[in-house]
């Protein structure tokens, strides 16, 4: 008789699964860049369209929350990397933007130097979701209470496509915290050794621990995966800042030099994915998220 995987293991597994996508996303981007300039943008477009294809496929799984959530997660990651990040790469290259150098090393690549130019679009999109009656994001709902905007919640569409929700959540959360880091890294605003950067790092660590305390209470994998996205991205701020400070080697951005390490990360991700999909879980009940 099979034993259902229960909390807190569901939340922990969801966190590990999404966590592995962070370094692998960097690796995929580096590998696309290494296929040669002639094919780089074609590869990026292919990855972005694969994300779109996943969203289209998700419509065939109406009522299957698990399948739609997984498809949405990868759709968001592929669209972010393929369409969004490489669009900044293209613009930076077209404008001949130079990387930020320190002690003869690149500390910020050109595409990230121009990414803060999108902050207005990020704010506009965030305002839409903040004021939308369909938004069930705990962060937005808490923020509404703090600001006194106790807006009535609209009815949830029973035919809701969870892939769309997961994909747009993934894109916006990654985008938001890229902007946060790039703003505090900017020497004209703060700098990577400024107290503001320390505040972001320790604030992110505390916030991610709080989110993790919520995540381990989930008893179904699909909502746990969706909650793990912001939990992991907030935690990844700590990883990014420590990497910026040279506390460790970011092996995932040097896959040709650290083949074994990147391979182990990939294997770990594959194992976590298989466990998340195939381990029996409790039947659907009212759960957090």
Q: How many domains does the chain have?
A: 1
Nearest of 21, 55, 35 to residue 225 by alpha carbon: 21
Q: Is residue 97 part of a domain?
A: yes
What is the C-alpha to C-alpha distance for residues 57 and 78, in angstroms, rounded to an integer? 14
Residue numbers of the domain that contains 98: 18-145+159-278
Q: Is residue 8 part of a domain?
A: no
Say whether pLDDT at 4 is over 90: no
The pLDDT of residue 83 is: 97
Q: Is residue 284 part of a domain?
A: no
Q: With bands split at pLDDT 50, 70 and 90, how would you rate the model's confidence at 151?
A: low
- For residue 50, give Cα distances in angstroms to 12, 37, 55, 90: 28, 20, 9, 19
Give the count of beta carbons closer than 10 Å to the beta carbon of residue 187. Answer: 10
Q: Is residue 35 part of a domain?
A: yes
Question: What is the per-residue pLDDT across 161-200, written as a single tens digit (0 to 9) for each?
Answer: 899 999 999 999 999 999 999 999 999 999 999 999 999 9
Q: Is residue 6 part of a domain?
A: no
The DSSP secondary-structure symbol of 279 reads S
Q: Is residue 140 part of a domain?
A: yes
DSSP string covering 39-93, please?
HHHHHHHHHHHHHHHHHHHHGGGTT-HHHHHHHHHHHHHHHIIIIIIHHHHHHHH
The pLDDT of residue 38 is: 85
The DSSP secondary-structure symbol of 99 reads P
Q: Is residue 288 part of a domain?
A: no
Mean pLDDT (whole number) for 42-48: 97
Q: Is residue 226 part of a domain?
A: yes
Question: What is the per-residue pLDDT across 201-258, written as a single tens digit (0 to 9) for each?
Answer: 999 999 999 999 999 999 999 999 999 999 999 999 999 999 999 999 999 999 999 9
What is the C-alpha to C-alpha distance for residues 25 and 44, in angstroms, rounded to an integer? 12
């Amino acid at each position: 008789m099979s034993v259902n995987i229960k909390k807190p293991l569901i939340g922990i597994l969801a966190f590990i699964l999404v966590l592995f996508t962070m370094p692998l996303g960097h690796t995929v981007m580096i590998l696309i860049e290494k296929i040669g300039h002639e094919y780089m943008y074609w590869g990026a477009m292919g990855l972005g369209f694969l994300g779109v294809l996943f969203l289209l496929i998700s419509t065939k799984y109406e009522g299957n929350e698990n399948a739609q959530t997984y498809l949405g997660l990868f759709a968001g990651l592929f669209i972010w990397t393929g369409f969004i990040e490489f669009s900044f790469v293209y613009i930076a290259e077209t404008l001949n933007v130079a990387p930020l150098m320190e002690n003869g090393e690149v500390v910020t690549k050109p595409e990230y130097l121009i990414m803060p130019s999108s902050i207005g679009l990020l704010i506009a999109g965030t305002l839409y979701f903040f004021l939308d009656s369909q938004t069930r994001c705990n962060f937005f709902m808490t923020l509404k209470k703090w600001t006194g905007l106790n807006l009535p919640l609209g009815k949830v569409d029973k035919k809701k496509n969870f892939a769309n929700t997961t994909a747009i959540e993934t894109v916006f959360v990654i985008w938001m915290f890229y902007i946060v880091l790039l703003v505090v890294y900017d020497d004209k605003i703060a700098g990577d050794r400024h107290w503001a950067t320390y505040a972001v790092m320790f604030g992110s660590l505390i916030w991610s621990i709080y989110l993790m305390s919520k995540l381990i209470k989930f008893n179904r994998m699909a909502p746990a995966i969706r909650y793990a996205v912001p939990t992991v991205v907030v935690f990844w701020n700590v990883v990014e800042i420590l990497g910026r400070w040279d506390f460790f080697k970011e092996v995932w951005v040097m896959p040709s030099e650290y083949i074994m390490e990147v391979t182990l990360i990939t294997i770990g991700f594959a194992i976590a994915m298989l466990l998340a999909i195939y381990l029996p879980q409790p039947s659907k009940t009212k759960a957090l998220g």
